[in-house]
Amino acid sequence: MLERLEISSFAVAREVALDLRPGLTVFTGETGAGKSLIVDAIAFVFGARMGRDIVAAGAERAIVRARLARAGRALAVERTLTVSGRSSYRIDDAPARLEDVRALAEGYLDIHGQSEQLAILRPAVQLAALDAFAGLQDERAAVAALVRELRDVRRRLQALRTDARERERLVERLTFEVAEIDDAALVPGEEEALRAEQTRLGSAARLREEAERALAALDEPAIGDAIAAVRAITARDVSAADLADAAGVLEAAADDLRRALRAYREALDEDPARLAFVTERLDRIARLLRKYGDTTGAVLAYRDEAAARLADLTGAEASVGELEAAETGLLAELAIRAESLSRARRAAAGRLVAAISAELQELAMGGARLAVAFTCEDDPAGPPVALPDYDVVADSPRILDPEPEPLPRAFTEAGVDRVEFLASFNPGEPPRPLSAVASGGETSRFLLALTVALGQASEGRLEVLDEVDEGVGGRTGAVVGRALRRLARRHQVLCITHLPQVAAFADTHCVVEKRTDGRATWTEVREVTGEARRAELASMLGGLTPANLAAAEELLASAGAPV
């Protein structure tokens, strides 16, 4: 679980520290108070991409630190982002990579922001949700690996099968390009060093003049006269010893500077041959940059790509026959794994529909009818699988009968399925794609039902929900609150809400407030209990009136929350 969250100079969250507990924690407050910053800070520390504009005005860097308790041990994760846009990570105070931090979040953290309500309408997201519910991530990863390998083999085959004349021209061009870049022997950073040398060589005469002028100035009698005068002073006044020390430093510094200037002057050489070489070298680098990339690194990367393509074309890696055999084998294995994955999805789809339907029943949407549609499209280059073109799974596992004939199907790294959730939220209407029938409030409740259903099939996680009750009215708020409490029995849940009916179900209630002193603005977060919590709920209901205070107490009592 997330035990503590420390936020520093993150937008208007100047200094926020939260000690968190298991169960359901809600965050309430006025619009614009900064509630979503809690969600953003959690996403930030676990690697979400954010710009430097999140650094608070006047601050050098934003820092978020999360202390976790996982598998019986404490773990600290920290991310810093400077105003220059530089990001760094630490795990248990040791430097870490972005990949390390994201690996920690994988399988542990789910963040459902307001954009999730739109994301869940996309078939790709729905397919990922089904796979998560069914625990099919390993099977899906195996299919994805096969697809990538098959595509690589086909790419190499295509290169080898290219028309012989065209291939010969391409081999000649790539050979020239690789040789041209290799002959240049580019070194990253060389261009900058050469430009500095070009400037120095081109200014050698002027630099020598300046060195001579500096030496002449040092030989002026004024410095010697000043040192002699100081010595005369100290000979008659012992209290002026510090002047003698300073004069000694000046004399030594002047001698050092003379020697350095003479050495610099002697080292200066107009060397027109070297200047011509540097200029020609820079011109050569510029020509390569115009042809192959904006930077030396890009040119070298192009060279590697061209060399790899050249190796394919000249048959350095494999013959056409070997690659064709590899393609056949991969296609056969992909067909087996993709069909197995698809059948497992169909079996799980009925369970997912039943689980979501049960949650929607609790969310006062008992009349909703749900199903999952599976579509397979033809593709002569795809793996042959025995699956129907279109199949709909309701609240029971689908048995394919009669067994369809294997046909080559279109595929992606997710397999051969295109999955879409179907729903009907009004009696008498057949289920249609969720994107075509759901209003804002219905989408919110569907997302919550899906989150709870997925939560039942996973180990304890951190679930962060940003206004998942968006579009839900107060009449339905209590059922949303109960659903969140059910989710919190298994997982730690942090929820931003604007509904007092939801907030009443929280185990921990925090209020987010915006403060200002006229010069700066900042956000504060405080936990409320007892009378302070009643007052917050009453404010959410419309204001601190006796009627609203009584209604707040009734909400807490009906939710079974401590008062």
Residue from 372, 320, 323, 325 nearest 345 by CA: 372
Q: Are strands 390-393 and 369-375 parallel, antiparallel or unpaired?
A: antiparallel
**Rounded to an integer, what distance in angstroms lies between the CA atom of residue 323 and that of residue 156?**
8
**Rounded to an integer, what distance in angstroms lies between the CA atom of residue 111 and that of residue 41?**
11
Size of the chain, expressed as the number of residues it contains: 563
Task: Determine contact, residues 212/281, Cβ cutoff 8 Å.
Answer: no
pLDDT at 475: 67
Identity at 274, one-letter amino acid code? R
With a pLDDT cut of 70, the percent of the chain lying above it is 88
Alpha carbons within 13 A on the beta-carbon side of 485: 19
Residue 375's DSSP bridge partners are 390, 418
Q: Count of CB atoms within 10 A of residue 269's CB?
A: 11
Give the dihedral of Cα atoms 552, 554, 558, 560; nearest 10 deg. 70
pLDDT at 112: 75
Contacts by residues 486-490 (CB-CB < 8 Å, ≥ 24 positions apart): 486/362, 486/452, 487/24, 487/451, 487/452, 487/455, 487/463, 488/22, 488/23, 488/24, 490/455, 490/456, 490/460
Q: What is the helix (H) or strand (E) element at residue 464, kind and residue range?
A: strand 462-466
**Rounded to an integer, what distance in angstroms lies between the CA atom of residue 29 and that of residue 515?**
12
- Secondary structure (3-state) at 492: strand
pLDDT at 374: 95
Q: What is the helix (H) or strand (E) element at residue 26, kind and residue range?
A: strand 24-28
Task: Determine contact, residues 376/409, Cβ cutoff 8 Å.
Answer: yes
Residue 117 burial class via C-beta count within 10 angstroms: exposed 0-12, middle 13-18, buried 19 and up: buried
**Rounded to an integer, what distance in angstroms lies between the CA atom of residue 463 and that of residue 492?**
6
Task: Determine contact, residues 413/340, Cβ cutoff 8 Å.
Answer: no
Concatenate the DSSP letters of all residues of 176-214 into one string.
HHHHHHHHHT--TTHHHHHHHHHHHHHTHHHHHHHHHHH
**Rounded to an integer, what distance in angstroms lies between the CA atom of residue 14 and that of residue 31?**
18
Tell me the average confidence (pLDDT) per consecutive run of 10 residues in the chain, 563 residues long: 94 93 93 87 92 92 93 90 94 94 82 63 84 91 96 86 76 92 88 79 68 72 74 76 80 81 71 79 89 90 91 68 91 96 94 87 79 94 94 71 83 95 82 75 73 71 78 73 87 91 94 89 93 94 92 90 51
Angle between helices 272-292 and 296-313 (to 10 degrees): 60
pLDDT at 563: 45
Strand residues in 328-460 grouped as ranges (E): 369-375, 384-385, 390-393, 407-408, 418-424, 432-433
pLDDT at 32: 82
Task: Determine contact, residues 112/387, Cβ cutoff 8 Å.
Answer: no
pLDDT at 318: 53
Task: Determine contact, residues 477/506, Cβ cutoff 8 Å.
Answer: no
Geometric angle at alpha carbon 341, from 339 and 346, rounded to 5°: 95
Output b/e per residue, 421-454; b: 16+ Cβ within 10 A. Answer: bbbbbeeeeebeebbebbeebbbbbbbbbbbbbb
pLDDT at 118: 56
pLDDT in tens, 227-246: 777 777 777 777 777 887 88
3-state helix, strand, coil in the chain (%, to 5): 55, 20, 25
Residue from 126, 209, 44 nearest 446 by CA: 126
